[in-house]
Amino acid sequence: MSPDPLPEARRAGRAGPFAGLALVLAVLLAPLVAPGTAGAQGSDERILAYDVDLRLDDQGTMAITEVIDYRFPAGEQRQGIFRYIPIRVRYDDRYDRAYDPQDFAVRAEPVEGRGDAGRAAAFTVTDDDNGNRQLRIGTAGNFISGTWRYTISYAVPRTVEAIEQPDAHYQEMAWNAVGTGWPVPIEGVDVAFSGPGPVIDSTCFTGVAGSTDACASTTVDGSGFTAEVDGLPPHEGVTIGIALPPGTVANATPSLVERWSFARAFEATPLKLGLAGGLAALAAGGLATMLSRQARDRRLVMDAYLPADASPDTAGLVGFFDKADGPVRFRPPEGATPGLVGVIVDESADALDVTATLVDLAVRGYLRIEETGDGDYRFVRLRDADAELLPYEADLLRRLWVYGPHGSVELGALQRKFSGDLGAVREGLYQEVQRRHWFVRRPDRARAFWVAVGIGALLLGAVVLVALAALTTWGLVGLAALVPGIVVLAAAKFMPARTSTGRRVLEEAIGFERFLDVADADQLRFQETQHQFVAGLPYAMVFGLTGKWAQTLAVLQEQGYDLAPSWYVPYGVGAPFHFAYFGMAMSNLTHATTSTFSTPPASTSGGGFGGSMGGFSGGGGGGGGGGSW
């Protein structure tokens, strides 16, 4: 779209009426985005005559009558013509000027043509997406041919603008009498203007967009103005400008619509900044308080301090930032396997917990782990699952031996195969902690619920933001509407809350973690059995203390304790076992197993791209174009 330089010219000042209007009117000839026609215009299709009568009243409303003699392509039938008129054009950097063509009437009659004149004059009026009001004249299925005369009349209010400058006071009307949107030649144009006061200056341009070619013939007679143009090639038009004395038209104020821009939508003022900040702080603070209460672990409270109707499991809440603490414990929580300890500690059943479960099953004699020498590991079945196993442990063994029906399977063979099985075992872990009532709600479902709430709140906030930004200049305040969704999404991972039972298990697990972290060889000598030394390894894995615990066991080994596990076989016949090496080997096993278990099957995906295209429209009133359909 060609910018309208008229406001800039006004700010610069002019010596008298219409100084510089030539440039303005040349710009007003800019072509408009034309609606699509039903087909290409025929080579002999044309407008034989285009007469425009403009009658301005003292309120600034212009009555327009266009008489168009339209010749359809020889030997072809069409259903009529369409005519589009701009209703919104650029005024300056901030505003668009709006026009409202209304009260349409159409008459159609054959000049040298055939067809039903009544149906040929039927029309519909619609507004398109390009800022045009479009008349579709004719009736679908009513075919006409030859030359037809279309008389189109309508009215446009607020077509005059008062110019008030120190050295220039007048009212002006700039109008595209014939727009540049016609794709057919026009053999002759006659323009006539009449107004409520004398014409004190006038100008007329013809040609393509930006042309400064003057019309061949113009006359001014009191309050009237006429112009004649012998012919126009396709996409050329005629623009006139009329200057009237100040006060001639009562309503000489253009209809301006503020154009959306990012800067305007998010205009920063002290009020808006304060309101946005206050709402954001209020939403964030209120939600944080509510969510922190939801996410806090429960704890038991002495019966003497409980109301009569209180539930012991929910009567007390642990402080949100209170860390689990407890005395050092020499054993894990009663009945808590390494996998379950991993879940209670980090509120998630993950691949590390499943790996620790696998090693724990080896410690308990259900399988043997062997190094193969190529960085891989072999799992060898020693005994089948039995009633001593928890459901998720038995399920893990069953799924593992599916890939090793002959009693052994290499870890590498599970690559890109076991991820689905991993999901099922993780589900079993979650079911077990819920069966034991360790969490108020399953951790994964608690997180998923609050993620869904956060996404919903974020989408709702986005709707509010878009509405405020699109319709007002309060978009900055709309940003505060995003805060609830952002806060909830950020808090979702913290939302799983333990019951009082789960909190007790957590504190016992942390006590055992402290033991694994700080115990030395001298302390371990007083433990009940040497088997317990190695049995702590799967727990050390979920605490991230594998290396530390292995070093402690290495010291005991050097002091003469025979702690070599029968369930782990290093590579090489007769290779000596040492815990200093074993710690590194277990770390490698942990990494390899969690990576293999988590790798999804290979998949392929396709992609695409999209594009966009935009249009532009010229400034000024009237104009537009048309064609046949």
Q: Residues 242, 160: contact at Cβ < 8 Å?
A: no
Q: Each residue of 163-186: b (16+ CB within 10 Å) or e? A: beeeebebbbbbbbbbbbbbebbb
CA distances from 173 to 160, 176, 233, 394, 551 (A): 5, 10, 26, 89, 93
Rounded to an integer, the average pLDDT of 312-319 is: 58
User: Residue 314 falls within a domain, yes or no?
Assistant: no
pLDDT > 80? residue 223: yes
Q: Which of 472, 496, 520 is the last residue of a domain?
A: 496
pLDDT > 60? residue 2: no
Rounded to an integer, the average pLDDT of 72-76 is: 87
DSSP state of 64: E
Verify that 520 and 428 share a domain, yes or no. yes
User: Residue 518 falls within a domain, yes or no?
Assistant: yes
User: Residue 620 falls within a domain, yes or no?
Assistant: no
Bridge-based pairing state of the strands 168-178 and 237-244: antiparallel
CATH of the domain at 247: 2.60.40
The per-residue pLDDT for 517 is 87
pLDDT > 80? residue 545: yes
pLDDT > 60? residue 26: no
The per-residue pLDDT for 199 is 94
Burial (0-12, 13-18, 19+ Cβ within 10 Å), 492: buried
The per-residue pLDDT for 344 is 94
Identify how many contiguous H helices and E strands the chain contains and give both numbers: 18, 26
Bridge-based pairing state of the strands 145-156 and 62-71: antiparallel
Domain count, the chain: 3
The per-residue pLDDT for 573 is 59
Query: What would the pLDDT profile of 554-576 be if each residue is shown by its tens digit?
Result: 887 787 777 778 898 888 756 66
Name the band, by pLDDT with cuts 50, 70 and 90, for residue 360.
very high
String of DSSP letters for 543-570: HT-HHHHHHHHHHHHHTT-----TTEE-
Count the alpha carbons within 13 Å of 384 in the hemisphere toward its beta carbon: 5
Q: Please give the residue range of the domain that contains residue 149.
A: 6-37+45-259
Mean of the per-residue pLDDT values of the chain: 82
User: Residue 93 falls within a domain, yes or no?
Assistant: yes
The per-residue pLDDT for 177 is 93
From the list 588, 582, 522, the residue with the least C-alpha distance to 555 is 522
The per-residue pLDDT for 153 is 97
Verify that 411 and 468 share a domain, yes or no. no
pLDDT > 80? residue 37: no
User: Residue 614 falls within a domain, yes or no?
Assistant: no
The per-residue pLDDT for 272 is 85
Residue in this structure with the two tokens 């969690």, named with its chain if needed: 594
pLDDT > 60? residue 222: yes
- Distant-in-sequence, close-in-space partners of 118: CB < 8 Å, separation ≥ 6: none
Rounded to an integer, the average pLDDT of 294-307 is: 56
Verify that 181 and 267 share a domain, yes or no. no
Query: What would the pLDDT profile of 141-165 be if each residue is shown by its tens digit?
Result: 899 989 999 999 999 999 999 988 8
The per-residue pLDDT for 527 is 55
The per-residue pLDDT for 160 is 94
pLDDT > 70? residue 515: yes
The per-residue pLDDT for 522 is 62
Classified as helix, coil or strand, 116 is coil
Percent of the chain with pLDDT over 70: 83
Rounded to an integer, the average pLDDT of 268-281 is: 88
Burial (0-12, 13-18, 19+ Cβ within 10 Å), 119: middle
Verify that 112 and 221 share a domain, yes or no. yes
Name the band, by pLDDT with cuts 50, 70 and 90, for residue 546.
confident
Query: What would the pLDDT profile of 419-457 be if each residue is shown by its tens digit?
Result: 889 999 999 999 999 999 999 999 999 999 999 999 999
Bridge-based pairing state of the strands 102-114 and 123-127: unpaired
Rounded to an integer, the average pLDDT of 68-94 is: 89
Q: Which residue has the higher pLDDT, 193 or 293?
A: 193
pLDDT > 80? residue 497: yes
Verify that 433 and 485 share a domain, yes or no. no
pLDDT > 90? residue 605: no
- Distant-in-sequence, close-in-space partners of 343: CB < 8 Å, separation ≥ 6: 349, 353, 429, 430, 433, 438, 443
Has this prediction a pTM greater than 0.95? no
Verify that 344 and 230 share a domain, yes or no. no
User: Residue 627 falls within a domain, yes or no?
Assistant: no
Verify that 274 and 247 share a domain, yes or no. no
Rounded to an integer, the average pLDDT of 120-129 is: 91
Verify that 268 and 344 share a domain, yes or no. no
pLDDT > 50? residue 416: yes
Rounded to an integer, the average pLDDT of 532-550 is: 86
Verify that 594 and 577 share a domain, yes or no. yes
Verify that 503 and 492 share a domain, yes or no. no
Which region among 48-52, 69-73, 369-373 has the lowest average model confidence (pLDDT)?
Answer: 369-373
Q: Which of 205, 240, 259 is the last residue of a domain?
A: 259
The per-residue pLDDT for 606 is 38
pLDDT > 50? residue 464: yes
Rounded to an integer, the average pLDDT of 257-262 is: 81
343: its two tokens = 């879940």
pLDDT > 50? residue 13: no
Name the band, by pLDDT with cuts 50, 70 and 90, for residue 615.
very low
From the list 141, 176, 197, the residue with the least C-alpha distance to 26 is 176
User: Residue 274 falls within a domain, yes or no?
Assistant: yes
User: Residue 465 falls within a domain, yes or no?
Assistant: yes
Verify that 508 and 587 share a domain, yes or no. yes
Verify that 374 and 245 share a domain, yes or no. no
Rounded to an integer, the average pLDDT of 364-371 is: 93
